[in-house]
Amino acid sequence: MSQVIQEIVVGEKPEGSYTLELINMLGKGAQRVIVKAHGRNISKAVYVTESVRRLTGDKIGYGKIKIYSTEVGELKEEKSVPVIEIEVINLGVKPQS
């Protein structure tokens, strides 16, 4: 049976919203969560994953970290936007009952 990998796309909400969302996913038993961000939100994604690592007492780890760029916008007005995907691995956060 394949494992479903959940994803959080970091956007314009405050960091705390994404931090809580990631903690909830891990607490409900998610083994792997991808935290993804574009452009200016990349630093926010890094902040969120590091905050959760510190809050959980190092009970999460990192898997693959992908950095690439994608084209966005209309034809002839496309621009390249950087993207990061951080794989967060649950190393022992207990599922909520």
Residues 6+ away with beta carbon under 8 Å from 32: 3, 5, 6, 63, 87, 88, 89, 90
Q: Which percentage of the chain shows pLDDT scores above 70?
A: 92
> How do residues 71-87 score in pLDDT, each as one tens digit?
888 878 889 999 999 99
pTM (whole model) above 0.85: yes
Map out the domains of the chain as residue ranges: 6-90
Fold of 6-90: Translation Initiation Factor IF3 (3.30.110)
